Structure 1
Amino acid sequence: MKKLNTQSPDFQIELKALLAFETAQNPEIDRIVADICADVQKRGDVALIEYTNRFDGTSAQTITDLILTQDDLQAAFERLQPEIQTALKTAAARVESYHQRQKMESWTYEDEDGTLLGQQITPLDRVGIYVPGGKAAYPSSVIMNAMPAHVAGVKEIIMVVPTPKGERNDIVLAAAFVAGVTKVFTVGGAQAVAALAYGTESVPQVDKITGPGNTFVAAAKRRVFGVVGIDMVAGPSEILVIADGSTPADWVAMDLFSQAEHDEIAQAILIGTSQPYLDEVQAAMNRLIETMPRRDIIEASLGNRGAMILAKDLDEACEIANYISPEHLELSVENPQQWAKKIRHAGAIFMGRYTSESLGDYCAGPNHVLPTSRTARFSSPLGTYDFQKRSSLIQVSEQGAQKLGKIASVLAHGESLTAHARSAEFRLKD
C-alpha cells in the first residue's frame, strides 16, 4: 500500500492522485450498448432472447423459458438449509424495519385566507432491480434493492438476473421470495436494462431501475436515464478506516481486505494518528493475506489504489475523510459518536471498533447501496424515499386568489407572458 503523510508538502497532490479514477465513458462500450438498447426497443422479446442466448450461453426458445414466478422463488427458498432461510429472513426483517422509518408522509397546511398547500406522497408503480447472477451469489443485493421498494408501497418489483449457462442460484432467488419480488426474468446485461426501460411484449416497462452491474449495465443505465429513473452509476467499492490505535490491528487489516477483495480497482484506505500502529496493521496484513482465497485480487487492489495515511490527529483525519467522501467510513476510535458529528460527507458511517463494514453489507439494517467516487458530497444511500415521489398540493381559496392573483399578474407582465397574467386577473373581483 502507498504511504502518505499529511505533513508532506506534496500530500494534497498525492491524495488527489490516489483518489483519481477514470470515469469517462468508453466509446466502444457505449456504441455496443446503444445498438443493443435500440434493438431491444425495436424487436422486444425476440431481441432479448437472442442476446441472452448469445451472451449467457443459454438455449431459450421462448420468453417463457426466461421467466420465474412466485412459485419458482418459493421452491428455491424451500431448497435451502434452515440456517440460510433464517439468515435471509432475519436480514430482510432488519432492513425492512430500518426502511419503515424512512417513509415520507403527505402533509398540508392552510394560509390565513383559507388557501391549502401541501405535499402528497405516492409510491412508484413499478420498479426493476438488477442483480448479478451466475456463480456469483448476491442475495444481499436483492434484499437491499427490493425491500425499500416494498416498504414504499411499490406494487410491482421486477427483478432481472443473468444465469450464465442456465445456472440459477437458489439463494439469490430465495432472497427475491423473502423480499417480495413480483416476477423474475433470467436475463442480464444491457439487454435487460433496455427491456426494463422500454418494455417488451413480456417485460413490463418500469419507472425506475436500481442495482449494480458491470460496465455494460452501467452504460445502459446511463443511456436510459430520462426514460426511466435510476439509482446511480456506481464506481468501484471503497472503504476508509480512521483508527486511533485502540482497535486490534488484525481487525482493521481484515476490514481493509473486505473491500479490496471485491475487485482490482476497489479502494481501501487507512488513516491513523500513530506510525507504530500503521506499521502494526501492515504487519497484520502481511500475515493474514496468506489466508485469503482472493489473495491476488486483494493484493492488486491494495497495490493499485490502497493507502495508509499518517495524520497528526483525529480532527485532521476527519477533514481528510470529508475530502475523500468515502462510500464506507469506519470510525474505529474511542467515542465514535463524538467524531461522527465532524463527518459531513460519507455514504455510511460505521461507529466503533465492533462495527465492521461487512455487517452493513448484509444485516445491520441501513442500505448498502451507497454513493461512490466522492459522490457522497451530494448524494445519499438508496432508501425508501427513492421509491416514493412528491406531488405539490395547491388549492387557492376565493380570498387567496385576490391576493395571489395580483402578485402573479405583476410578475407575469414583467416576463411579457400576457396570458399568464390574464389567467390570474380573470379571477380578481376588481
Structure 2
Amino acid sequence: MLRTIDLRGTRPTLSELLALVPRAATDVAAALEPARALIDDVRARGGAALLDQAERFDRVRPAAVRVAAGELASARAALRPDVRRAVESTIERVRAASAAQVPAPERTVLATGAVVEQRWQPVGRVGLYVPGGKAVYPSSVVMNVVPAQVAGVRSIALASPAQAAHGGRIHPTITGVAALLGIDEVYAMGGAGAIGAFAYGVPDLGLEPVQRVTGPGNVFVAAAKRVVQGVTGIDAEAGPTDILVIADDSADADFVASDLVSQAEHDELAAAVLVTDSAALAERVLERLVIRATETRHSERIRAALDGAQSAVVLVDDLEQAADFANAFGAEHLEIQVRDAEAVLARIENAGAIFIGPYSPVSLGDYAAGSNHVLPTGGQSRHAAGLSAATFLRPQQVVRYDEGALREVAPVIATLSEEEDLPAHGEAVTARFGERR
C-alpha cells in the first residue's frame, strides 16, 4: 500500500521530477476516436442516439432525454430537509466566494481623449455536466451552476447520466438541487454523447448549442471535450481525482491518512500522494492507512487506488524539495500540514486548490469551504485553473480615442505599419486627417 519514491540525497531537475511523478495509466488520446464516434452519432441522429447510448452505457433507456418541469419540481419538493439545508449552506458559501472572482471593470486613460476600457462579458449559454458513476454529486451541481450564475450567464443547461436504479431518470437529488438553483433545462444524458449534444445542439430536443462546457467526468468525457474544442469552449479535461499532502513530523498521521483515503474513495484510479521529510511520519501514516482503508465502506476501491502506480509516499531531504516535487506533480488538491505552512506556501506555484493546516481537509473544499471543487486533474494545474466565475467570463477591451488622441499616436502607427509592410494600416489613420488618394 503506497509505494515509496526516495529522493533523499538527490536534487532532480524539473525534467527528472516530471518523469518521477506517479500517474494513473489513463490515456485520453486512446479514447478520442470512440468519443468522436459517439459525438458524430448524436450529430446525425439527435435524441435517438442519446437514448441508444444511455441504453448501451447506463444500462437503461430513459423515457425522455429532457427532464420535465413537473419532475424537477417534484424532486425539489422531495429533497430531505437535512440535505436541502446542507445544499443551501453550500450554495451561500460558494456564491460569496465566487462573487470575489468577478473582476471590476477598469478604465485606463492613456492620454487626453485616449481611453481603453476593460469589461468582463459572460458567455450567453453554457452546458454543465454532472457525472454519475460510483457516487451521486449534488455538490457538483452547486459548483458548476453557482459560478455561472454569479458571472451573469443567461442560459444554463445541465446534463447528468440516466440511472438504472431510478428507472432511467437522473438521480432525484441531482434534479432536486438543479431545481433548487432555478435550472429548468436538464437532460438525462451522459458521457461523450452529452458533451457533443452541448457543443452542436440537438434540434429535435430543442437543445441549442452552448458556448462553453464545464464539469468533471470519466476519460470519455475528457476525450469528448478535446474533440469539441474549437466548436465550444471547455473548462479542462478532468480525469481521476488526486491529492498530494506535504507533511513534516509535526503532522497528525491519522489526519493525513484519513485525507488520503477520502480521495482514494472516489475511484480505483484516484491518486493519493504523501510528500514528507520525515521517514517516521511516513511509517505512522502507512500504519494508519491500513486501518482507515480497512474500516471504511468502500475499502476495496480505496485499496485499489492506494496500491496503484499513481499513489506513493515520496521521501525528501527538506520541505523546499517537497515544494519542488509538488510543483512538478501539479496537484488537483494540495494539503500543507507542516509547522511553517506559509514558508511552504510561498514556494508553491502549481495546484488546483490549496488547504492549509490540520483543520482544512480536502473534504472541506469538496462541500462547504466556499471554494470550488471542480479542479484540474492529472497535472493540469501546472497550466490550468479550477472552475470559477472567471471560467464563464471573457475579457473585452473597449477602445475610445478622439481625433486629437488619434493624431498624437498616428506617427507610431505609421512607423510600425511600414516596418511590418502593411502600409494600408497606416493609411487607415492618415485618411482621417485629410490625406486621400
Q: Deviations over 1:114-144 (max 9, x none)?
A: 1121112211111001111366311111111
Q: CA deviation at 1:290?
A: 1.8
Matched letter for residue 406 of structure 2: A
User: Structure 2 vs 1, CA of residues 21 and 137 (structure 1 numbering), >3 Å: closer, same or farther?
Assistant: closer
Give the Cα–Cα distance (whole angstroms) in 2 for the partners of residues 22 and 218 of structure 1. 15
What pairs up with 1:8-407 in 2 under 5 angstroms?
8-9=9-10, 16-21=19-24, 24-27=27-30, 29-60=31-62, 65-133=64-132, 136-165=135-164, 166-201=168-203, 202-304=206-308, 305-407=310-412
- Unpaired runs of 5+ residues, structure 2, are none
Q: Deviations over 1:365-398 (max 9, x none)?
A: 1111112222222221110011111111111110
Secondary structure at the counterpart of residue 207 of structure 2: coil
Give the Cα–Cα distance (whole angstroms) in 2 for the partners of residues 364 and 168 of structure 1. 27
User: Structure 2 vs 1, CA of residues 276 and 188 (structure 1 numbering), >3 Å: closer, same or farther?
Assistant: same
Given the alignment of the two structures, is residue 419 of structure 1 paired with residue 424 of structure 2, yes or no?
yes
Give the Cα–Cα distance (whole angstroms) in 2 for the partners of residues 56 and 198 of structure 1. 22
Q: CA deviation at 1:69?
A: 4.5
Give the Cα–Cα distance (whole angstroms) in 2 for the partners of residues 20 and 133 of structure 1. 23
Give the Cα–Cα distance (whole angstroms) in 2 for the partners of residues 347 and 391 of structure 1. 26
Confirm or deny: 8 A CA contact 1:88 1:178 kept in the other structure: no
Q: Deviations over 1:20-58 (max 9, x none)?
A: 45564444x322322222232233334333333443344
Give the Cα–Cα distance (whole angstroms) in 2 for the partners of residues 187 and 344 of structure 1. 37
Q: CA deviation at 1:253?
A: 0.8
User: Structure 2 vs 1, CA of residues 378 and 33 (structure 1 numbering), >3 Å: closer, same or farther?
Assistant: closer
Matched letter for residue 125 of structure 2: R
Q: Which residue of 2 aligns with 1:4?
A: 5
Confirm or deny: 8 A CA contact 2:18 2:328 kept in the other structure: no
Secondary structure at the counterpart of residue 160 of structure 1: strand
Confirm or deny: 8 A CA contact 2:246 2:275 kept in the other structure: yes
Confirm or deny: 8 A CA contact 1:115 1:395 kept in the other structure: yes
Confirm or deny: 8 A CA contact 1:95 1:147 kept in the other structure: yes
- Unpaired runs of 5+ residues, structure 1, are none
Structure 1 residue runs of 4 or more that deviate by more than 6 Å after TM superposition: none
Confirm or deny: 8 A CA contact 1:242 1:271 kept in the other structure: yes
Percent identity for Structure 1 against Structure 2:
36
Give the Cα–Cα distance (whole angstroms) in 2 for the partners of residues 300 and 348 of structure 1. 25
Which of 41-50 and 17-26 deviates more?
A: 17-26
User: Structure 2 vs 1, CA of residues 7 and 337 (structure 1 numbering), >3 Å: closer, same or farther?
Assistant: closer
Confirm or deny: 8 A CA contact 1:135 1:169 kept in the other structure: no
Give the Cα–Cα distance (whole angstroms) in 1 for the partners of residues 359 and 80 of structure 2. 28
Q: CA RMSD in A?
A: 2.2
Give the Cα–Cα distance (whole angstroms) in 2 for the partners of residues 184 and 36 of structure 1. 20
Confirm or deny: 8 A CA contact 2:334 2:352 kept in the other structure: yes
Give the Cα–Cα distance (whole angstroms) in 2 for the partners of residues 235 and 143 of structure 1. 19
Give the Cα–Cα distance (whole angstroms) in 2 for the partners of residues 192 and 235 of structure 1. 17
Give the Cα–Cα distance (whole angstroms) in 1 for the partners of residues 386 and 320 of structure 2. 25
Give the Cα–Cα distance (whole angstroms) in 2 for the partners of residues 54 and 281 of structure 1. 42
Confirm or deny: 8 A CA contact 2:62 2:188 kept in the other structure: no
User: Structure 2 vs 1, CA of residues 255 and 192 (structure 1 numbering), >3 Å: closer, same or farther?
Assistant: same
Give the Cα–Cα distance (whole angstroms) in 1 for the partners of residues 148 and 348 of structure 2. 28
TM-score (norm 1): 0.92
May I ask how many residue pairs the two structures share in their alignment? 426
Confirm or deny: 8 A CA contact 1:156 1:181 kept in the other structure: no
Q: CA deviation at 1:272?
A: 2.1
Secondary structure at the counterpart of residue 49 of structure 1: helix
Confirm or deny: 8 A CA contact 2:50 2:193 kept in the other structure: yes
TM-score (norm 2): 0.91
Secondary structure at the counterpart of residue 377 of structure 2: coil
Matched letter for residue 157 of structure 1: I
Confirm or deny: 8 A CA contact 2:22 2:312 kept in the other structure: no
Q: CA deviation at 1:346?
A: 1.3
Give the Cα–Cα distance (whole angstroms) in 1 for the partners of residues 427 and 18 of structure 2. 59
User: Structure 2 vs 1, CA of residues 291 and 203 (structure 1 numbering), >3 Å: closer, same or farther?
Assistant: same
Q: CA deviation at 1:363?
A: 1.2
Q: CA deviation at 1:324?
A: 1.9
Give the Cα–Cα distance (whole angstroms) in 1 for the partners of residues 18 and 420 of structure 2. 49
Matched letter for residue 175 of structure 1: V
Q: Deviations over 1:287-323 (max 9, x none)?
A: 2222122222222211222211222332332222222
Give the Cα–Cα distance (whole angstroms) in 2 for the partners of residues 400 and 423 of structure 1. 15
Secondary structure at the counterpart of residue 314 of structure 2: strand
Give the Cα–Cα distance (whole angstroms) in 1 for the partners of residues 53 and 4 of structure 2. 46
Secondary structure at the counterpart of residue 413 of structure 1: helix
User: Structure 2 vs 1, CA of residues 273 and 50 (structure 1 numbering), >3 Å: closer, same or farther?
Assistant: closer
